[in-house]
Amino acid sequence: MGAAGPLCALLVLLATGTGTGTGPAPPRLVLALLARNAQHSLPHCLGALERLDFPAGSIALWCATDHNSDNTTAMLQEWLGAVGQDYHSVALKVQEEPSSYPDELGPKHWSDKRYENVMKLKQEALTYAREQQADYILFMDTDSILTNNQTLKFLMAQNKSVVAPMLDSQTFYSNFWCGITPQGFYRRTPDYFPTKNRQRRGCFRVPMVYATFLIDLRKEETSQLAFYPPHPNYTWAFDDIIVFAYSCQEAGVEVHVCNQQHFGYINVPVKAHQTLEDDHANFVHLTLEAMVDGPPMQRSRHISLLPRPLTKMGFDEIFLINLVRRPDRRQRMLASLQELEIIPRVVDAVDGSTLNSSDIKVLGVDLLPGYYDPFSGRTLTKGEVGCFLSHYNIWKEIVSRGLERSVVFEDDVRFEAAFPARLQRLMDELERAQQDWDLIYLGRKQVNDEDEAPVEGVRNLVVAGYSYWTLAYAISHHGAQKLLATKPLSKMLPVDEYLPIMYDKHPNEDYKRHFSPRDLLVFSAHPLLVYPTHYAGDSNWLSDTETSTIWDDDAKKTDWAGSQKTLRDSRGSAGHLRSTARDEL
């Protein structure tokens, strides 16, 4: 193919039946899908399309893909070959060469020529829908995943000229603007966050929607809408979504976004200088967030994907602690780790609820004299005994197997973006700095307010102060030896109280005198690399340590009331949102 890269257009007309039966025929829809360098999100996007509750025979697919440097075209062709006959018709437009635009700085850079091409493609799809006398056209980006299979019917039922389902992301980003300046720039308004957070619910008029939206072609006012060429009076930025917003404004067409339901997700775009690998990492993070918050995304079963090699990120072992009676947590964590290309060893947790007093005595467990929960005043729970024993057994395995570096996960972990790369970078810097360490918190709750000292020569690492939680940490062979050497089972307290004692940051001097030496070298990732999936008071929160019984009295039940350990950290008011991506843009 020549340097000019001629456009190869393929139109395949398939069965044109729109269903049988005596009821009214469903509306005719053109679904326009534009895909470029989307192999990481395309299987999920197409999987969502397959599950839409709408007759495929009434949908004409209009697909375009161009300037790819990945496997997008092959994926799209494979999918259309498998499901195309189910749809009214299929139009596919492919431009394989060149793989980049002459004026772009990289595959994530939006240059003028790229904007112009996208505008032309969207205009071509819109013209095609009008020529086919379709009732609607749904534009959909490949980084929009509609997990709600009723989305299309819902949007049609709103009877709006242009309407979008509000899509959730791993930050405050979404697929609409609430305000726009007279010059066409983004304007922050007091309505955005209440809408994005669903503190107000409904279908709201907005100046702009993008990524995924429906146009009602039956309405006369939409006949003037266009993507290309821009309106003769247009002076705003050369950007397809802003051009379309201006077109709606000039035509007097109202644009709406609806947030009454959870419709699906949108990936946060990376910066112009970033790479396809960065975009992929972002999408993996979105996939993990969907697994926690639900509903999860599902890939199309019609796309062949090569198995990805799983690693231990340079560690000797990755331990995952899970109660057998919590299979949902095990399944989610295994799926999350697979997305992160991490292979764990699952360790069945010790179930404290099944331990009777005889079991506890046989194990050599006894309570640390004078221990009481600092918030509720209760003593140790059976859940806390089981939790301690679970971690203790892993420390023993680390020592017996001679494992130099390991990671321990509990099963209620929410990962930050690019978790494997960030952890590996941290460990590499630690090694280059020749810094000794015994344990590194990957996630925790910092108890005290004071700043913690940074570790010289290692970015994003601090000397850990008094901390709660053991949801994720790296541990060395030497660190495990130290934790075992004090024989903690005979003077047990919660494991997340034991660790600060061992690095001499616990405030209770009476507790500390039972353990010596207290020279564990403990640091913490900063910012943290994981957070809990839920906190006390959340609708889906569940704790087998807090909601339990007293360790030596099954008649005394406990819950989280009065304990602040499992509450959200007030300093982390943005929760698990990435610190660098907490804005709507």
Mean pLDDT over residues 122-136, rounded?
A: 98
pLDDT for the residue 585: 56
| pLDDT grade for 424, boundaries at 50, 70 and 90 | very high
pLDDT for the residue 344: 98
* Per-residue pLDDT at 15 exceeds 50: no
Whether residue 527 is preceded by a cis peptide bond, meaning omega within 30 degrees of 0, is: yes
- Cα separation of 378 and 360, whole Å? 19
For residue 495, give the amino acid letter: V
| pLDDT grade for 101, boundaries at 50, 70 and 90 | very high
Mean pLDDT over residues 16-41, rounded?
A: 82
Mean pLDDT over residues 518-528, rounded?
A: 98
Asked if residues 391 and 495 have their Cβ atoms less than 8 Å apart, the reply is: yes
Q: How many Cβ atoms from other residues are within 10 Å of residue 123's Cβ?
A: 18
pLDDT > 70 fraction of the chain, expressed in percent and rounded: 87
pLDDT for the residue 374: 78
pLDDT for the residue 331: 97
Torsion, Cα of 334, 337, 144, 112 (10° steps): -170
Supply the mean pLDDT for the chain: 90
pLDDT for the residue 541: 45
Contact partners, residue 119, CB within 8 Å, separation at least 6: 227, 228, 230, 240, 243
pLDDT for the residue 17: 44
* Per-residue pLDDT at 574 exceeds 50: no
| pLDDT grade for 543, boundaries at 50, 70 and 90 | low
Q: E strand or H helix at 242, and its extent? A: helix 240-251
* Per-residue pLDDT at 445 exceeds 60: yes
Q: Which of 41-55, 219-233, 348-362, 499-513 has the lowest mean pLDDT?
A: 348-362
Token pair for 233: 């009076």
* Per-residue pLDDT at 50 exceeds 60: yes
Helices of type H across 348-381: 357-362
pLDDT digits (tens, 9 = 90+) for 472-482: 999 999 999 99
* Per-residue pLDDT at 164 exceeds 90: yes
For residue 297, give the amino acid letter: M
Place of tokens 């025979």: 57
Mean pLDDT over residues 451-461, rounded?
A: 96
pLDDT digits (tens, 9 = 90+) for 1-14: 333 333 344 444 44
Mean pLDDT over residues 148-153, rounded?
A: 98
Taking Cα atoms as reference points, which of 386, 327, 322 lies closest to residue 351? 386
Q: Which of 316-330, 346-360, 415-429 has the lowest mean pLDDT?
A: 346-360
| pLDDT grade for 196, boundaries at 50, 70 and 90 | very high
- Looking at per-residue pLDDT, the higher value among 378 and 532 belongs to 532
* Per-residue pLDDT at 254 exceeds 70: yes
* Per-residue pLDDT at 570 exceeds 60: no
Give the strand pairing for 255-258 and 162-165. parallel
How many angstroms separate the most distant Cα atoms in the chain?
85
Mean pLDDT over residues 372-381, rounded?
A: 79
Token pair for 16: 């044109």
pLDDT for the residue 555: 58
Token pair for 305: 């994907």
* Per-residue pLDDT at 546 exceeds 60: no
- Looking at per-residue pLDDT, the higher value among 240 and 560 belongs to 240
pLDDT for the residue 90: 98
pLDDT digits (tens, 9 = 90+) for 261-319: 999 999 999 999 999 999 999 999 999 999 999 899 999 999 999 888 999 999 999 99
pLDDT for the residue 450: 86
Taking Cα atoms as reference points, which of 414, 419, 474, 465 lies closest to residue 441? 474
pLDDT for the residue 358: 84
pTM of the entire predicted model: 0.89
Q: Is 187 exposed, middle or buried (0-12, 13-18, 19+ CB in 10 A)?
A: middle
